[in-house]
Amino acid sequence: MPGDIEANQEDFVNVEEDYRVAAIEAYLAKQIRIMDLMATLGKSRSHVWRMISRYKSDGVKGLQSKKTGGNNRIDPNFRAKVVALVKEHYRDFTPQFASEKLLERHNIAVKPATLRRWMMKAGLWKQRCEIKPSVYSPRQRRERIGELIQVDGSYHRWFEKRGNEACLIVFIDDATSQIMHMRMVEHESSFNYMRCLKWYIEQYGRPLALYSDRHSIFRVNTPGNSSRQSPTQFSRACHELGIGVICASTPQAKGRVERSFRTQQDRLVKEFRLRGISTIEEANWFLEHYRQTHNTKFAKSPLDPEDAHGPQGSFNIDRLLTFTVTRKVFKDLTISFNKIRFILDDTPLARRVIGKRVTVAVYLDGRIEIFHDETTLAYKCFDKLRLIAQPAVVDRKRLGTALQMAKAIREVEPHHFIRNRHIMAGFRDFFPQPTDVKSRTLQNPTKTVRRKFNGRARAPLGRHPIVISDRTLNQEPPED
């Protein structure tokens, strides 16, 4: 401890002074010669004579160094005040940050290095080398294959500079370290995990449980009472299939799949390089061959030869592995979903569900179906106008894909005033007749007209965004 070190230093100084005094006393008593005293103290002849002179005039104090003490010593009361402030307000601050806040809020200037020593002595700070690492005890493997499947995705430059960053989704068996499924995708999403799970069930059957991290695909991470929150789409689908979902608290808990990614990021990258693979489609074509080769080298035998996979049974996998939400049916037999309005066919069943909630299911292939009590309802699409969207909360791992999607939307969908709240969005109020000559002149206006109408020319009338049934935004404007 720092206090013990200071005490040991004081003891060392006292022993050194006692030795010097004893040596000088022995010389004055003519027990040793001046040459012996010089050798004993390790000083020159002139320095030894000065020490003898000071000892004769001032005694033991004359032998003390004149450099000790001085005006640079910090007042102990000031030091105690600073430590008290840190304990009260900045207990969990780093020395650098605490030093900045002391100067900012209390007008007290203390160097970070000095404050670090004070905090260490007071037990408020520990050096990095003093922090003990966490210990994660290993656990035994599951006994049967299919009893626990570890799942995870790894973002990496799998194609190096030949392609974009991609995500590798892996299903690995806990009992055998056998890679059951591998798929390269653009990003981690519920749909991609559902596609992998569908392939897995068709090949092996239903596993007892999946072991994943705490990604928002597998659990709801919103603070609050989790018992009242709805499960995620993937967790709901797994529950309906009778598959448990277990979320690990640390990456070390699912170390089997984490260590597998470390191996793939070395071997698989080089395999892609040797074969010139640079796209996701080419990678998925090769991964099945790589998976079999990898399992031959690294897979182990299970302790129990019994297979824990359950049969597919009568489950409608396509129906369960969907993105499912509920929507209310309005009086005009319409529902809203994903910025699109759907119009139900006018049937007795559709009339009975007015004011009730129906289920909208989006399949993995993009199909959309509307159900009520497991009965399919026929519908037509009514393309609803999109207003300015709120900024989406995008996970760091999905940022690249979100930017690509925004770029694609910008290229496909033309600018339109009604989507951007432009003043010309209400052109029908100004020009009731679509063939109005003055309305057509505003398609390529002069600078004066642009300033009058706050900026830009309106789009051609044929590209108005209200599209019903077969009409689309890409349709060409009608001929005159």
The residues facing 359 across adjacent strands are 326, 371
Q: Which of 473, 329, 345 is nearest to 412 (CA)?
A: 473
The secondary element (H helix, E strand) that includes residue 304 is none
Structure tokens at 339: 């910025």
Neighbouring residues of 398: CB distance < 8 A, sequence distance ≥ 6: 187, 188, 189
Homologous superfamily of domain range 149-222+229-298 = Ribonuclease H-like superfamily/Ribonuclease H (3.30.420.10)
Structure tokens that stand for 123 in this block: 């037990």
Q: What is the pLDDT of residue 383?
A: 64
Residue 454: the pLDDT is: 52
**Could you state, in order of their start, the residue ranges of all structural domains in the chain?**
2-63, 93-128, 149-222+229-298, 322-383, 413-468
**Residue 24 backbone phi and psi in degrees, to 5:** -70, -40
Q: Does domain 322-383 correspond to CATH entry 2.40.50? A: yes
Q: For residues 159 and 179, what is the distance between their CA atoms, to the nearest angstrom?
A: 21
Distance CA 258, CA 172 (A): 10
Could you tell me which of 229, 250, 149 has the C-alpha nearest to residue 193?
149
Q: Could you say which residues of the chain have pLDDT below 50? A: 1-13, 388, 414-432, 455-480
Contact between 378 and 342 (Cβ < 8 Å): no
- In this prediction the pTM is 0.60
- How far are the Cα atoms of 166, 390, 410, 416 from residue 404, in angstroms, in the given order? 13, 18, 10, 21
Q: Which residues pair with 375 in a beta bridge?
A: 372
